[in-house]
């Protein structure tokens, strides 16, 4: 196993499940010291026990990205424990679904509070330490930032905003030695599609995306880890995600024809 992250310290928000947890496991195997943040303390404690058994360096912090003080405390705890912060992964997020006609403005506002303003607060909290280490700011976007589909406008709008932020802030931070890596996943194995419009997991809800179309989270994590190590400006994760973006960019008529015939509006789980 390549130890690309040996002696590197990484903080990950939304680390209790899905891409966040898988990325934590991948980076741990590559030598990283980890600060894992999330709202579900029990999940974080499970990961901590797993890493402790493997002699991995790890601390956990219960953290809501909508609470700036908790983000700042997590960054301070990281520096106190490990001495620095090399990589900050702004991963926390969820998806509001439903047709525009049935959603309330508050649903859109709630989506932006976490996916956009929570991401910005995460970046703000860690920026000074990243400048000291000339580190990497990792922003979790989505293929939805290129492809807005029926029943998915709130989520797509939030990820459009993340992509716009990434594109603009990359040259701003370059002179300080901080690299920005935008990760744009397609369908990855995750609980996100079973989370309701208020950000609560509906454990019994069915995943609306067929399992064969989902990339395993551990495979996605390996791809993301390579992109971070190489400081790539953007990495689209999943083959179908790459195809969707290419169709939208170069064959817009074909894309919208396929979308109108093959895609159904998503509904809130639960």
- Asked whether the beta carbons of 140 and 255 are under 8 A apart, the reply is no
Give the helix/strand (H/E) hosting 20.
Answer: helix 18-29
Cβ(236)–Cβ(184) below 8 Å: yes
The one catalytic residue among 48, 84, 108, 155: 155
- 159 part of the active site: yes
Q: Looking at 48, 159, 174, 232, which residue is catalytic?
A: 159
What the block records as the tokens of 133 is 């280490």
- Nearest alpha-carbon partner for 220 in 142, 123, 122: 142
- Which residue, 63, 86, 97, 112, is CA-closest to 196? 97
CA 118/CA 68 separation, integer angstroms: 8
Query: Cα–Cα distance between 136 and 209 in angstroms, integer?
Result: 32
Cβ contacts of 184 within 8 Å, gap of 6 or more: 141, 142, 143, 145, 146, 163, 234, 235, 236, 237, 241, 245
Per-residue DSSP letters for 49-68? Answer: HHHHHTT--EEEEE--TT-H
- How far apart are alpha carbons 60 and 108 in whole angstroms? 30
Pair 245, 49: CB distance under 8 Å: no
| Residues with catalytic roles | 155, 159
């Amino acid at each position: 196993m390549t130890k690309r992250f040996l002696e590197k310290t990484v903080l990950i928000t939304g680390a209790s499940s899905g891409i966040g947890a898988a990325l934590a496991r991948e980076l741990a195997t590559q030598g990283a010291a980890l600060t894992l943040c999330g709202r579900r303390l029990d999940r974080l404690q499970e990961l901590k026990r797993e890493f402790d058994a493997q002699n991995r360096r790890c601390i956990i912090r219960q953290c809501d990205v909508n609470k700036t003080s908790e983000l700042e405390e997590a960054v301070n705890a990281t520096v106190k424990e490990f001495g620095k912060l090399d990589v900050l992964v702004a991963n926390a997020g969820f998806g509001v679904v439903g047709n525009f006609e049935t959603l309330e403005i508050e649903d859109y506002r709630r989506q932006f509070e976490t996916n956009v303003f929570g991401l910005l607060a995460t970046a703000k909290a860690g920026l000074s330490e990243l400048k000291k280490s000339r580190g990497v700011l990792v922003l979790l976007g989505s293929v939805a930032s290129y492809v807005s589909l029926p029943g998915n406008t709130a989520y797509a709008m939030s990820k459009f905003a993340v992509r716009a932020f990434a594109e603009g802030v990359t040259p701003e931070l370059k002179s300080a030695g901080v690299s920005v890596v935008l990760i744009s996943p397609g369908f990855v194995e995750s609980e996100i599609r079973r989370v309701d419009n208020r950000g609560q997991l509906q454990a019994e809800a069915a995943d609306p995306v067929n399992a064969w179309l989902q990339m395993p989270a551990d495979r996605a994590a390996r791809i993301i880890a390579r992109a971070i190590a190489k400081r790539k400006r953007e990495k689209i994760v999943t083959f179908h995600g790459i195809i969707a973006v290419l169709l939208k960019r170069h064959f817009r008529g074909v894309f919208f024809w396929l979308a109108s015939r093959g895609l159904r509006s998503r509904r809130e789980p639960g």
